[in-house]
Structure 1
Amino acid sequence: MNTVDTLTQYAVQYGLQAAVALGILVAGSVGSRWAGNFAQQALEKQTLEPPVRLLLVRIVKIVVMLFTAMIALQTVGVPIAPLIAGVGVAGVGIGLALQGVLSNVMAGLSIIFSKPYKVGEHISLLGVHGDVVVIDIFTTTLMHADRSRVIIPNRKIVGEILHNFGAIRQVNLTIPVSHRTNIDEALAQVKDILQQHPKVLKDPAPGAGVSSLGESSIGISVAPWTAVGDYGSVQGELNKLILERFRARGIELPSSHHTVHLVNA
């Protein structure tokens, strides 16, 4: 009977505390969600990068949940000071074990605040290139020209040489023509095509000129600017248009030929 009374006493005493602590945790979960939504709405009015807003919203939620957990632990009689000290010691070990993850986080914060590139820009680094589609705390995701995704850990990016093309790229074409070609006429036709093409930017102005003098041909360099998303299509379209225009105007393209000398033995 004494055992039953003792269990009943503990159940009444600690069961009530546990129920209160559980209620506090539930309220904290709801409160963290509400605080996160409120922070999200407030930060959307500010000129911040999406990863920065995401990070700040997560921090708000974590702080609310940690504060709620401390209150719940105190409710059930757990001393907080020794727990905090133990968490600090455990944090050191966890930090050593997660050096790679933490270095990615620090590199991600550096990228977010220093802004060496932004979403929508075309960059090249570490032997890969593509359009920036996502900048996260841990990684940066590029969209390659073949529509594959390249995911780069942020710690690999910081400290490396990075080529940022921005939102526009320069197309570089070399069109060979025969030595008998009227160069002024050929350049005039190329410039007219560049002027009329809807995807070729007017500013910066496209360039066209003689780039090389070969034994069998003269190289005409064509260097227009276009939006990053139009880079691939513009190359093919310009080659096709220039070829058709040259044929229509009688501008001769070089053809390889060999002269064979027969020597009488």
Structure 2
Amino acid sequence: MNEQLQTLEHAQQTAIDLAIQFGPRLLAALLILAAGYYVGRWVGRAADSMLVKLGLDATLRLLLVRMLRILVLGLFLIMALQNLGVQLLPLIAGLGVAGAGIALAMQGVLGNLAAGLTIIFTRPFKVGEYISIVDEEGMVEEIKLFNTVLSHPDRSRVVIPNRKIAGEILHNFGTLRQLDVVVGVAYDADIKRALAAIRDLLIAHPKILREPEPMIHVLALADFKVQIAIRPWTSVADFHTTSGEITQAVLETFHECGIPIPLPQREVRLLGAA
């Protein structure tokens, strides 16, 4: 019983000695880390405000602010470890060896990270633009370090790993898209009147842009009709709805103006008697 009491007393005394020896250092280290957290937030807000005034892209601005916060917190972490008496050189060497193993195990993730940094700094597209790449298309909703998120008109979302984007052929429509509506009129119709009617309805349509100027021209002389191409510009958000609206408006306008829209025709001749 006496031996157990002595062991307990020894453990208590050891704990007290350690608390006296390392307690103040540990408290100081925690205070340094807390200060680093708040200093990092303050520096991040100040940098973000400055970058906003410079008109920097939102994605790049967010990346720079995060990197700056991590850098500030890392500096305070080093100060805290030094205050605890930790030898940094062996720790850095150990982290280097561990980092090499982690890098080998996470090649795909690091590839996405490298591609994400490439996209952010080269800026082949921006948030709000409509792009087509790797058999997918949509409006750019988010550009992250590891992936890019596209939104579709059907309100679905496509998440593409950044390594699938870097090095691929990219079609960037920007914030505008050109409609491609083709209508047909009869050969005996007044073509000039049909073109004028189309031009008037495009001018009156609220979703059609005045600049760039809409393109309206005769496209081809088909078997039983004259094909007219209607190629106005609209915003990406209005593209799909406007295409149907223009097609319907052309049909109604042609009916009101008496411009004939021909049906497919085939002439069959019977030669000789059966």
TM-score by length of 2: 0.88
Paired residues in the alignment total 265
CA distance in 1, matches of 2:173, 2:249: 26
Matches within 5 A, 1:142-153: 142-153=150-161
Matched, 1:156 2:192: no
Q: Find the partner of 2:188 among 169, 180, 183.
A: 180
CA distance in 2, matches of 1:27, 1:5: 32
When the two chains are superposed, the root-mean-square deviation of aligned CA atoms in Å is: 2.1
Matched, 1:121 2:126: no
CA distance in 1, matches of 2:34, 2:211: 58
Identity of aligned residues (%): 46
CA distance in 1, matches of 2:69, 2:229: 57
Q: Find the partner of 2:115 among 107, 110, 116.
A: 107
Q: CA deviation at 1:22?
A: 2.1
Matched, 1:138 2:143: no
Return 5+ residue gaps in structure 1 as ranges.
Answer: none
Partner of 1:189: 197
CA distance in 2, matches of 1:131, 1:56: 24
CA distance in 2, matches of 1:19, 1:81: 23
Q: CA deviation at 1:172?
A: 0.7
Partner of 1:242: 250
CA distance in 2, matches of 1:191, 1:257: 28
Q: Find the partner of 2:27 among 19, 24, 29.
A: 19
CA distance in 1, matches of 2:269, 2:204: 48
Partner of 1:33: 41
Equivalent residues of 2:215, 2:232 under 8 A apart: yes
Matched, 1:56 2:61: no
CA distance in 1, matches of 2:13, 2:164: 64
CA distance in 1, matches of 2:127, 2:237: 13
CA distance in 1, matches of 2:15, 2:234: 79
Q: CA deviation at 1:27?
A: 2.2
Letter in 2 for 1:104: N
TM-score by length of 1: 0.91
Letter in 2 for 1:137: L
Name which of structure 1's ranges 214-223 and 2-11 shifts more when overlaid on structure 2.
2-11
Equivalent residues of 1:51, 1:137 under 8 A apart: no
CA distance in 2, matches of 1:94, 1:30: 30
Q: CA deviation at 1:203?
A: 2.2
CA distance in 1, matches of 2:29, 2:253: 80
Q: CA deviation at 1:159?
A: 0.8
